[in-house]
Amino acid sequence: MILTIPEGYQSSLTLKETEKAIKFVKDFFQQNLSSELRLRRVTAPLFVMQGTGINDDLNGTERAVSFPVKELGDAKAEVVHSLAKWKRMMLGKYDIPAGYGLYTDMNAIRADEELTNLHSMYVDQWDWEASITKEQRSLEFLKKMVRKIYSVLLRTEFMVYEYYPSIKPILPEEITFIHTEELEALYPNLTPFERESEVAKKYGAVFIIGIGGKLPLSGERHDGRAPDYDDWTSETVDGKKGLNGDIILWNPILERAFEVSSMGVRVDKEALKRQLKEAGQEDREKLMWHQMLLQDKMPLSIGGGIGQSRICMFLLQKAHIGEVQASIWPQEMIDQCDKNGITLI
């Protein structure tokens, strides 16, 4: 358990006001995201069958919550970590053309999550995916989509201020783009998280490009990424690697970098093979999902996840994610929050 208590923190909203504000933020954000990215809403699963390759492996170490299914001879199903790969299958199933996509409410349980102000065992996010052309598999197109998402965030922040004038907007008008290779060169003696905090504090909102591959100076990764959804090995026009990244905001309440979205251009056949080899997971090529991609049964795509509770926490200027979602917390954390004016739902 890691808990930060901001000095002098006091929420601008009561518990009842917070519940109303959560609904407003979620409704407004998803409606605008849908129209901005031209996405249709679809219904998503809470669990998938084990051994199909559909579930998101995150960093490859987190255990999925699983259970036997009686009617399937006790074959195991597992609660999704995210819908990163499931969405791409659905693009093909619904025959969604390039320029359009889908989004869904994703609910997950991550039992191995370290519980902090930002991290909960319960994860809720808008998972989205859009079909693209071969020409759109580029850094410029990725940036275009990031700017669209950021415009929705700015719009929502303004509307929160309209309804709740005590919560004043803090986001900059533009989001800044920077590559993990540039960050490593700027701050070679800092950890990846410390680099994120430095650049987020400087610019207010940044998109950090190229997450998953080894960095040139240290040979280490900025952060982990599963090898079979985001493309983090393709080279861009300036020779840097990576067609993916994270939207990071500066959180002045917690005084730290605050991730709200992970997204990227998805792997094509060549990138999938390349990244599975680099990760030492070439045996995954035999799985159902991977075979579908290798046999051209899924469209090229771009997609990501946007944290619903993270967005609410940031825009309502809360100190703990438990103020905007119901989850399970250690009793010690509950007691400390209660003593310091942090009301967990």
For helices 139-163 and 15-37, what crossing angle results, to 10°? 150
Cα separation, 241 vs 210, whole angstroms: 6
Cα separation, 88 vs 289, whole angstroms: 10
Cα separation, 154 vs 176, whole angstroms: 14
**Catalytic positions, please?**
56, 110, 125, 246, 259, 262
Q: What share of the chain is helix, strand, coil (3-state, %, to 5)?
A: 35, 20, 45
Cα separation, 208 vs 326, whole angstroms: 30
Q: Which spans in the chain are helix H? A: 15-37, 86-93, 139-163, 180-186, 192-203, 269-278, 288-294, 308-315, 331-339
* Pairing of β 244-251 and β 39-41: unpaired
Phi, psi of 109 (to 5 degrees): -120, 125
With residue 75 as reference, give the H or E element that holds it.
strand 75-79
With residue 301 as reference, give the H or E element that holds it.
strand 301-307
For helices 15-37 and 308-315, what crossing angle results, to 10°? 120
Token pair for 14? 């009561």
Q: Which of 175, 171, 144, 127 is nearest to 304 (CA)?
A: 127
